[in-house]
Amino acid sequence: MSAPLADVLVLDLTRALAGPHAAMMLGDLGARVIKVESPTGDDTRGWGPPFVQPEEGDRESTYFLSANRNKESITLDLKNPADQDVLARLVERADVLMENFRVGVLDRLGFPIERLHQLNPRLIVLQITGFGHDGPEAQRSGFDQIAQGEGGLMSLTGLTEPTKVGVPIADLLAGMNGAYGVVSALYERERTGRGRVVHTSLLAGMVGVHAFQGTKWTVAKEVPGLAGGHHPSIAPYGMFATATAPVQIACGSEKLWQAFCAAFDLDPAAEGLATNADRVTNRPQVIELVEGLLADTSAEDALAKLDAAGVPAGKVRSLDDVYAWEQTLSQGLLIDVDHPTLGAVQLPGPALRFDDNAYAGGREQHIAPPTLGQHNDTIREWLDS
């Protein structure tokens, strides 16, 4: 079977992370992705350290490597009429164009939506912005940490003060939302024969994952606060200290609470513990109780005891541990690629698997992130063919 998007051509005019991540997701599914870069390259080529310095050639940013697998690179100066003509020819052949310029920039470069659809009525355009393509603050630049704060996520994260998530989650979610919007538009195009514009933003990604914290305000009119290492609506559910290292325990139902109590000789119906609502109300006392039970137990022994009792629990792994974990490896979540200057490198891979492929993603083989302008000649030759 061919990859799901094997017949799709994507023009990736984006830079930094949200747009490149969206384009990479489509590339993982088999789309041909042509990354259109300025002559100086995507900003993330310079984001570091860490950089990887080959014996010959320019240094490579590990940040850029994380968001640009399965792509080709062509450099175009979109203020140059000759290069604008190259882009127009690419648009005529493309299925999807992705951009994350500030609102109005693509218009000023001579490619408003009307012209794009004149060149190619079937073209699907994905526009990713910081705060939305319209509205009173549409012109604001979008940067991940600012969006995490403005979108409320930081107000829910941390122990004593608002804290950003350890990865650029606003960018990543905007990219994921954009990718599924594009796939939906491709499906719709099979019925209508025409393309459309898909809009998403970093702000939309943040608000879209508020989940129960959002309805806590919109319905119950309670403003959520910092959640720390524990679930705000379930107890015990969170990270607990042991004699050696923290463990995470999730008593997500009364049945699991009863199983936990049986393993540790507790009365599940004791005063202040009988219902989840009781335990949430008395969370500090519940945390103290659980950590008291684990105070003289190693993390390994605690996890073994919880597993035997059928109570969900787990480690807090560092990334080197995650990438060495047999379960991670069994899911095909690391991919090996041959980079043109770095040689053989290993990358974190895509999150999807299909039934005819043991490895993550829809491709039989993944392609290394490109060097700047690596495919200038081959893409131009293809356009002239």
Query: In sequence order, what DSSP letters do the residues of 23-54 get, joined into one string?
Result: HHHHHHTT-EEEEEE-TT--GGGG--S-EE--
Pairing of strands 343-348, 334-339: antiparallel
Closest CA to 38 of 374, 372, 381: 372
Q: How far apart are CA 288 and CA 292, in angstroms?
A: 6
Read off the DSSP letter of residue 197: E
Catalytic hit among 171, 278, 336, 355 = 171
The residues pairing with 199 across neighbouring beta strands, listed in sequence order, are 127
Read off the DSSP letter of residue 359: S
Closest CA to 285 of 309, 266, 262: 266
Q: How far apart are CA 256 and CA 224, in angstroms?
A: 26
**Percent of residues in the chain assigned helix, strand, coil, to nearest 5:** 40, 15, 45
Q: How far apart are CA 318 and CA 157, in angstroms?
A: 19
Q: End-to-end alpha-carbon separation of the chain, Å?
A: 28
Query: What is the distance of C-alpha 350 from the center of its chain?
Result: 10
Structure tokens given for 197: 């514009």
Read off the DSSP letter of residue 61: E
Which residues, including other chains, have CB under 8 Å from residue 108's CB and lie 6 or more apart?
A: none
Angle separating helix axes 169-192 and 18-28, nearest 10 degrees: 50
3-state DSSP assignment of residue 207: helix
Q: How far apart are CA 170 and CA 147, in angstroms?
A: 6
Is residue 171 among the annotated active site residues? Answer: yes
Structure tokens given for 223: 């403003």
Q: How far apart are CA 14 and CA 35, in angstroms?
A: 8
Which residues are identified as catalytic? 171
